[in-house]
Chain A
């Protein structure tokens, strides 16, 4: 009845679709450029410092022997991992926030990170924890947990809110188990576990990063391709069905894709907190109310993670912090700043 009038005002109140898309493209371009610039700084930092120009020269093939080894073999994997993992986490977060229609949604809501930590902790405390054992433990723990949560929440269809509640319940159990394992472990093992549990890019190399990237890139492409369906799901199950979207199938597919993105990242770098949660929200705010969009979330995630990694390297210079400690701080501070600014201006 009043629907047409409402639609009209909405259309009149907002810029046209083309302008909106143009602005979104510009935003993504700026974010990506910033992320690449910070990545150059990450590669340039360390015991053998190099300027961004020098790094760029080496990357383009104009380097000497030692510089080549340092840049291409030692430092680039870390920067590339930060960019790709950040994008993956940002998209995974956007998918979950859209599916659960909750700004606090993230792959954590179905217990993935907590389960991965449990798996890694078991690998560390029982098997001694080589890199491969920790990765496999994390992967198995995370995927089993996500699967269990989805099954437990299934009852004639999956309901967003039920999924979150079940996820919180399962996570709480696993978190308690994790705390207990940490409490009972030797202090050295416990602290090593805590570094992994915070999420860290220290010591990644091509042989660990490449398999993850090979998995992430196609999954990321598939997820981005499903972005439009995701937006229709946001209108509600009934409306989406009426528009011809197979609701349950889409939801399951998007969850699987988002979990794969998180899984590949977590197996290599540990559960890096807060990127998945905050990147979509930041992108949405910078995009001025265009809703949760996947591509800006990916660019924002890459920028957030690579900047955090730079800070983790440089802040307490000889001591390398786990990047997860910085992501929570940087993400949190930025969110606080945005909230404060919104509060002052009273705009969105």
Chain B
């Protein structure tokens, strides 16, 4: 967001500008070769991007297969494929079907949901440091868990998962009401500040309650870490529905995201309805982040770093960025889950590994060249 005039004209910068023009001037399929300004070079990058995305998809599938084979009881790939294609009643097949396949699916769904939610938040607030947690998702969910366990005596994951989802949705709604109310309703800085403020209040109350109720504290510390382990398969269907709804909303907002990146005034001048776009984006973020956070715990860092990684491959177009994020985020989460199963005897929670895998990547990205702003 630095003024282009003061920047040295690097090739990357020029490309960035051209990319934006192409996306905005045509407002059709990204990089469509038939669209006015597209040059052969542009078409080439589109092809490259598409094939790169395909490569990552293949990587995700391979990683998912690997996650079926790796664990406290290693199972060879032939048996894994057998269990998928031609299941029988053997113990190995039962493990794969009933425990490892749901876990891999949970990782893919929750990972892409957290990634997309992070990408949407970063684009909407024009703040590259935003993550879904900034809208109060984590604070709302953990306060709801503390209340569920401490006040209502509900125990266990399947008991409080709906509380967590409800808490996340309510918190985000409240952040929206505080941040978007009033005269300067479209200032994204207000939204971020409202999220920080409300999140602080909720987490303060949550901590105070948790310190009074040791049982709630015990559940909360397990949930906060974030893990794919021990989640009941019944949550897969609701999670899948929520993720599908979020993806549809996100797909609708892709074009407005490109416009919003240029600032509200420009977006309005281009004919975009800025306020409506923000509501749609926020709705998508709430559904995606709320569902994924309730299901796997507070792995908000994934939502922060996956879009940064995706931007390296996608360039500035928000639609490509969303696509890459949707594939890269579950890759990171599944990789973390698989690593966590083999690093130490017993298991290291995916949330912990995720931070230790993702953070060095983020640091290297930050060091490599001038960081790419949103």
Contacts and interface: CB of A to CB of B under 8 A. Distances in A.
Q: Do A and B come from one complex?
A: yes
Contact of B352 (A177, A198, A328): A177
A239 to B, nearest CB: 11
B204 A329 contact: yes
Contact of B355 (A152, A173, A321): A173
A175 interface: yes
B114 interface: no
Nearest to A331: B200
B354 interface: yes
Contacts of B304: 168, 172
B225 A180 contact: yes
Interface in A312-339: 319, 321-322, 324-329, 331-333, 335-336, 339
Interface in B197-218: 197-201, 203-205, 207-208, 210-212, 214, 217-218
A179 B129 contact: no
A140 B140 CA distance: 33
Interface in B321-374: 348-349, 351-352, 354-356, 358-360, 362-363, 365-367, 370-371, 373
Contact of A277 (B196, B351, B370): B196
Nearest to A273: B200
Given A104-B192, A191-B211, A332 B197 contact: yes
Contacts of A168: 129, 304, 362
Interface string A158-194: 0101101110111011011101101100010011001
Contacts of A331: 197, 200
B270 interface: no
B207 A169 contact: no
Nearest to B6: A238
A104 B196 contact: yes
Given A103-B189, A166-B366, A169-B362, A176 B204 contact: no
A329 to B, nearest CB: 4
Contacts of A344: 181-183
B366 A187 contact: no
Given A332-B200, A343-B185, 20 more contacts: A103-B192, A104-B129, A165-B371, A166-B362, A169-B363, A173-B356, A176-B354, A176-B355, A179-B351, A183-B222, A191-B217, A273-B200, A277-B196, A319-B212, A325-B211, A327-B204, A335-B193, A335-B194, A335-B197, A339-B197
Contacts of A191: 211, 214, 217
A198 B204 CA distance: 9
A328 B204 contact: yes
B184 A336 contact: no
Contacts of A198: 207, 211
Interface string A87-120: 0000000000000001110000000000000000
A329 B189 CA distance: 20
Contacts of A195: 211
Given A166-B367, A172-B301, A343-B183, A326 B204 contact: yes
B200 A180 contact: no
- Max chain B C-beta neighbours (<10 A), residue from A161, A332, A345: A332
B201 A328 contact: yes
A104 B125 CA distance: 13
25 contacts: A102-B129, A103-B189, A152-B367, A161-B371, A165-B371, A166-B366, A168-B129, A169-B360, A170-B359, A170-B363, A180-B348, A183-B222, A190-B217, A194-B207, A194-B211, A322-B211, A325-B211, A328-B203, A332-B197, A335-B194, A335-B200, A339-B178, A339-B190, A342-B190, A343-B190
Q: How large is the interface on A (under 10, 10 to 19, 20 to 34, 35 or more residues)?
A: 35 or more
A345 to B, nearest CB: 7
Contacts of B200: 273-274, 278, 328-329, 331-332, 335
B224 interface: yes
B129 to A, nearest CB: 6
- Max chain B C-beta neighbours (<10 A), residue from A153, A172, A187: A172
A108 to B, nearest CB: 12
A33 interface: no
B95 to A, nearest CB: 25
B303 to A, nearest CB: 11
Contact of A162 (B6, B351, B371): B371
B167 to A, nearest CB: 16
Contacts of A249: none
A122 B56 CA distance: 39
Given A172-B359, A173-B355, A274-B200, A162 B367 contact: yes
A342 B203 contact: no
